[in-house]
Amino acid sequence: MSDSNILEVKDLQVHFPVTEGLLKRQVGSIAAVNGVSFHIKRGETFSLVGESGCGKSTTALSVLKMQSVLDGQIIFDGEDITHHSPAQMRGIRRKMQMVYQDPFGSLNPRMKIGSIIGEPLRVHGMAGDKTRYHARIASLMKTVGLLEDMAERYPHEFSGGQRQRICIARALALDPKLIICDEPVSALDVSIQAQVVNLLMDLQERLGLTYLFIAHDLSVVRHISNRVAVMYLGKIVEEADRDTLFKSPKHPYTKALLAAVPEADPEVEAQRAEQLIIGEIPSLRSPPPGCTFHTRCAEAMPICKQQAPDCRTDGASSLVCHLYS
Amino acid sequence: MNPLLAISDLSVTFATDRGQVQALDGVSLSLNAGETLAVVGESGSGKSVTALSIMGLLGDSGRVSDGSIEFDGEDLTKVSGQRLREIRGNQIAFIFQEPMSSLNPVLTIGTQVAEPIWLHHKKSWSEAFEQAGELLRRVAIPDAVNRLEDYPHQFSGGMRQRVMIAMALACQPKLIIADEPTTALDVTVQAQILSLLKNLTKEANSSLILITHDLGVVARYADNVAVMYGGRVIETASARELYKNPQHPYTEGLMASIPKLDGDPGSRLYTIEGQPPDLSNLPSGCSFNPRCPHAQDKCIMTKPTLSEVAPNHLRACFGYER
Amino acid sequence: MSEVTLQAGQSNSLLAFHRRMLRDKPLGGIGGLIFALFLFCGIFADLIAPYGMNETDMRRVLQAPSLAHWMGTDHIGRDVFSRILHGAQLSVIIGFLAAGLATVLSIVLGVLTGYFGGKADMLIQRFVDAWMTFPDLVLLIVVVSIVGPGEGQIIIILGCLYGIAGSRIIRGSTIAVRENMYTHAAQSMGASTLHVLWFHVLPNVMPVVIVLFTTRVGAVILAEAGLSFLGLGIPPPVPTWGSMLSGGGRTYMYVGPWLALAPGLALTVVVYSINVYGDALRDMLDPRMRGR
Ligand SMILES: Nc1ncnc2c1ncn2[C@@H]1O[C@H](COP(=O)(O)OP(=O)(O)OP(=O)(O)O)[C@@H](O)[C@H]1O
Ligand SMILES: Nc1ncnc2c1ncn2[C@@H]1O[C@H](COP(=O)(O)OP(=O)(O)O)[C@@H](O)[C@H]1O
Ligand code: SF4
Ligand code: SF4
Ligand SMILES: [Mg+2]
Ligand SMILES: [Mg+2]
């Protein structure tokens, strides 16, 4: 692998058992992530988009090794971490941090803000002496736009946007190389979303961060990402750089997804022919045969029901569809 | 033509542990038959309270302290409880945000859709049940007749919301109020549900109040828009006019802060500084003044009222130079 | 626990804390006062009791309450007030030790099974189920009749009895806390299991622990009274509230109602006070309830 990649995921498989009855007998399994491959370059923002349940969060958790992986390979910062023990992962976790969707649930209500932000330092024995520790917390708070005297307050005294800033400060404490953001602005009000998106972009510029960004709001994704991968039922169906994907989407699912997102402009909307994607995402317990999207695809062909399409890739972009093979 | 619904100067207060909280302060809205009005605003701005006061569902702690709600020639704040229930069942229907908790988990879908028809239309049970099947077909539930015997948990979130729409349509209401009907759903399903809602209301010439915080949804589905902030309506206009020519600094900021598909990716978004206001501790004068880039002395002293800046375009602001 | 604040408010002083409790939660505050009084009486019973606990005076048998004997005297002329004070001492010792043992047991069992889950949890839960289907009193009577009555036995038996049953409650709230994103966040930053348990799980199940402990103190005192009432508790002549009820209290109910009233009232007031105090404590220690 080349040094320019901070993360490389190859053929990732994550399965969950399906259990039944009182005794929790295993009767099958679902492939929540089913052969996902991607790589993230240093300093870029790579986004995963798709409908809920398609495996975005599970992919993110596997990268953090918070989720056991059935098969595949995860290479982080030149190191194959697929089979790392929890002890080996401790060192790795310093370099990878996560920001969650729910800024209310991800802060311990009984800890003060300063203590929350400093927790990663204490966990990794990097707190140092008291003055250095407090200075570090103060500077982190300043970095994300919080006032220093807020350190003594509890999470419930803050609004959603401020809490997300606290989460970001905590993620920055260990100077990580990669930050995984799982729907970081979905729970925020529109006027607050813009503040957090700007903050993430500023931090990336100043600190040279790399983001794995998970979201379902495509306009935010387009604004912040360099490259985008679209997931459907546990697989990446199209991956391309931002402009290509948004200007000339190729995969029928990508097109449908883009069409479903209303643009905040009535004039544009009036001209847009409404093309609805039919039906809902099928159950992972019994995914359709062939191309898993064929039940909803407007361009499905007879072969799509029988044979799963291969992945065609040219290094910069990839596509999984019979129309392009 | 008289509007179907005209809310004027509506104020609502809630009794809480910390004293009286004024959730709505002089809200005025109007809606014609067959029209879709979108109500937008941040969390806590009073969108749901407005909807609930139309339905007379403010609960024990809430109270309309001032103003009137004229619906089809009747003031809903004055009518008897009995009459309100009649109106609620027959002429105004409500679709909630959470389709899971609004359906009874132990009754079949068919029973739940048929029940209001049976109750309100004095039909036999088998007729009502048959009509329920017909309604489910209209909201595009595949294999509708065979799914009447299913229970809510066997339906996906999108299908449950379709059922809620079917129930709302059952009595051919004049007005449907949908409070964030798709917030819990995926964009693809959201598009399906909202188009369905829009088409069905158009067919029946019903009016629709669509509560949402998604400005894209507003642009696609609404005829008119009311923007709420801190318990007040601060701007109303037709959707096209509002997007092209926002007149209130808050609306303007809101429009500027969403990333546009033809915008410049990678640039910084416009932000409205500060936090949404706390209703129990509203700033004096214009409640937007702490966040407003154009605030003047006057804004801190007095509350601006809605006034016309263009035909059918009202805003509550003292005005500013752009 | 320097980082995780369990103390309330800026003032760390116990006195100021309770002064605030009296203001914000008067019922709980009064409960706390009575509880403190009970502790004080229990600890200093030897000093404050006007008479010895077994000092008999046959000239003053079954006297109604008077200035000399605030709660009257019993059938062999012992001062009831002094005996109540000494009884309080025993109740304090048994109540605190047994409830403490029960709580520690509940925490260890509940937090570990709740946090780790899995097969061991399944097995332990089935055992707890079986344990809880036995009526408390029957279990107590059986065990006491095997090992014989005595302070130590009673503490251990009651501790185990309530500890195992209470582990269910702790387990439930541990599972709720485990599912919270902040425990997840701590794991993902590389924190050890011990760190997560100590800083994230324990502080957030603490409210339940506090209530559990205080209700257990009450329950243990009652259970001990019940055992003593049945003659299975602390052997006489040591006065306990339960044996006072069953001994003189029952026999001389009509001649000297104060014999039953005094220990009965003491039990009721103390147990009730501890419970309301526990509730108030839980509310006051929650940072989200501050300033309300
Ligand atoms: N029953 C109630 N008791 C006290 N206050 C209430 C009650 N219901 C609503 N409020 C207050 O009224 C204000 C407006 O609430 P409302 O539910 O209308 O907000 P909203 O605009 O619908 O927000 P969201 O987008 O989060 O649904 C809020 O500050 C809320 O706290
Ligand atoms: N712990 C789990 N046990 C069983 N199934 C799970 C678990 N976590 C996620 N799943 C399933 O895996 C699929 C992908 O989930 P997830 O990655 O969370 O989706 P999303 O793309 O919305 O983040 C879903 O069908 C979900 O129900
Ligand atoms: S492979 Fe066939 S069904 Fe699948 S997306 Fe392409 S055209 Fe549609
Ligand atoms: S009234 Fe004043 S403070 Fe309010 S929006 Fe207008 S200019 Fe801004
Ligand atoms: Mg997710
Ligand atoms: Mg609402």
Please tell me the distance between residue B25's alpha carbon and the centre of ligand 1 in angstroms.
Answer: 13
C195 — contact with chain A (CB < 8 Å)? yes
Sheet holding B307-310, edge to edge: B92-95, B175-179, B207-211, B36-40, B224-229, B232-238, B313-315, B307-310
* SS3 assignment for C199-248: HHHHHHHHHHHHHHHHHHHHHHHHHHHHHHHCCCCCCCCCCCHHHHHHHH
Give the separation between CA B105 and CA B112, rounded to whole angstroms: 10
Q: Write the DSSP symbol of residue C198.
A: I
- CB-based contact A70:A14 (threshold 8 Å): yes
Determine whether the shortest distance from the Cβ of A97 to ligand 2 is under 6 A: no
Structural domain contains residue C14:
no
pLDDT of residue B321: 61
Considering every ligand atom shown, identify the ligand nearest to the alpha carbon of residue B228 and give its number.
Answer: 1
Q: For residue A59, give the ligand nearest its CA.
A: 2
Q: Where are the beta strands (DSSP E) in C88-128?
A: none
For residue C188, give the nearest of A98, A110, A124 by CB distance: A98
Which atom of ligand 3 is found nearest the CA of A291? 4
Kindly report the average pLDDT of chain B as a whole number. Answer: 87
Partners of residue B19 on adjacent β-strands? B16
**How many Å is the maximal CA-CA distance in chain C?**
76
CB C5 within 8 A of CB A113: no
Which chains does chain C touch, 3 or more C-beta pairs < 8 A?
Answer: A
| A265 interfacial to chain B (CB closer than 8 Å) | yes
Q: How far is A218 from chain B (nearest CA, A)?
A: 9
Please give the pLDDT value at position A1.
46
**Domain for residue C1, yes or no?**
no
Residue C172 domain-assigned (yes or no): yes
On whether residue C81 sits in a domain, the answer given is yes
With contact defined as 3+ CB pairs under 8 Å, the chains touching A are B, C
Which DSSP string corresponds to A168-213? Answer: HHHHHTT--SEEEEESTTTTS-HHHHHHHHHHHHHHHHHH--EEEE
Q: Are C280 and C27 in contact (CB under 8 A)?
A: yes
Q: Is residue C30 part of a domain?
A: yes
Angle among Cα C91, C95, C97 to the nearest 5 degrees reads 120
Distance CA A53, CA A283 (A): 9
Contacts of A1 (CB under 8 A, 6+ apart): A8, A39, A75, A78
From the list B213, B220, B273, the residue facing A189 with the nearest CB is: B213
CA–centroid distance, B295 to ligand 4, in Å, is: 5
DSSP state of A235: E
Q: What angle do CA A253, B185, A288 make, to 5 degrees?
A: 45
Measure A10 CA to nearest chain B CA, in Å: 28
- Which 8-state DSSP code applies to residue B296? -
Question: Which one has a higher pLDDT value, C47 or A295?
Answer: A295
Which residues of B fall within a CB distance of 8 Å from A219? 216, 258-261
Closest-CA distance of chain A to residue B312, Å: 17
Separation in Å, CA of B250 to nearest CA in chain A: 9
Mean pLDDT of C231-248: 73
- Provide CB contacts within 8 A for C270, sequence distance 6+: C34, C35, C38, C88, C91, C218, C221
Q: What is the largest CA-CA distance in chain B?
A: 68
Measured in angstroms, the CA of C284 and the nearest CA of chain A are apart by 12
Residue C65 DSSP symbol: P
- Residue A110 contacts C, CB cutoff 8 Å: yes
What pTM did the predictor assign? 0.80
Domain harbouring C158, CATH code: 1.10.3720.10
Residue B287 pLDDT > 60, yes or no? yes
ipTM: 0.81
Q: How, if at all, do strands B207-211 and B224-229 pair? A: unpaired
Residue nearest to atom 11 of ligand 1 (CA): B23
Is A107's CB within 8 Å of C182's CB?
A: yes
- Average pLDDT of the residues of chain A: 89
A58 lines ligand 2 (CB under 6 A): yes
Residues in chain C, total: 292
Residue, of A139 and C72, whose pLDDT is higher: A139
Q: Is residue C56 in a domain?
A: yes
pLDDT beyond 60 at C11:
no
Is the separation of the CB atoms in B39 and B47 below 8 Å?
Answer: yes
Query: Which residue, chain included where needed, has tokens 């009721």?
Result: C268
Residue A225 sits at the chain C interface (C-beta within 8 Å): no
Contact check, Cβ <8 Å, A123/C186: yes
- Rounded Cα distance between C15 and B242, Å, is 60
State which residue of chain A sits closest to B263, comparing Cα positions: A223
Which range, A214-223, A316-325, B170-179, B233-242, has the best average confidence (pLDDT)? B233-242
Question: B51: CA distance to ligand 4 center in Å?
Answer: 26
Residue B114 has pLDDT above 80, yes or no: yes
pLDDT tens digits along B18-36: 778 899 999 999 999 999 9
Chain B's closest residue to A50, CA to CA, is B186
Count: domains in chain C: 1
Task: Tell me, yes or no, if A255 comes closer than 8 A to chain B by beta carbon.
Answer: no
CATH architecture of structural domain B5-91+171-232: 3-Layer(aba) Sandwich (3.40)
Q: Which residue of A has its CA nearest to C182?
A: A106
Q: Could you tell me if residue C152 is inside a domain?
A: yes
Q: How confident is the model at residue C150 (pLDDT cuts 50, 70, 90)?
A: confident
d(CA A148, CA B78): 53
A150 vs B: CB within 8 A = no
Check whether C72 has a pLDDT greater than 70. Answer: yes
Residues in A closer than 8 angstroms to C195, CB to CB, are 123
pLDDT tens by residue, B131-140: 899 888 888 7
Tokens 């008067």 correspond to C26
Containing structural domain, residue C139: 23-289
Q: A93-97, A194-198, A304-308, C188-192 — which is least confidently predicted?
A: C188-192
Q: Is A26 on the interface with C (CB under 8 A)?
A: no
Higher pLDDT, B233 or C231: B233
Phi, psi of C236 (to 5 degrees): -65, 160
| Residue carrying the six token digits 């130079």 | B321
Enumerate residues with CB within 5 Å of ligand 6 (an ion): B 48
Q: Is position C45 within any domain?
A: yes
> CA A12 to CA A60: how far, in whole Å?
11
Confidence of residue C8 (pLDDT cuts 50, 70, 90): very low
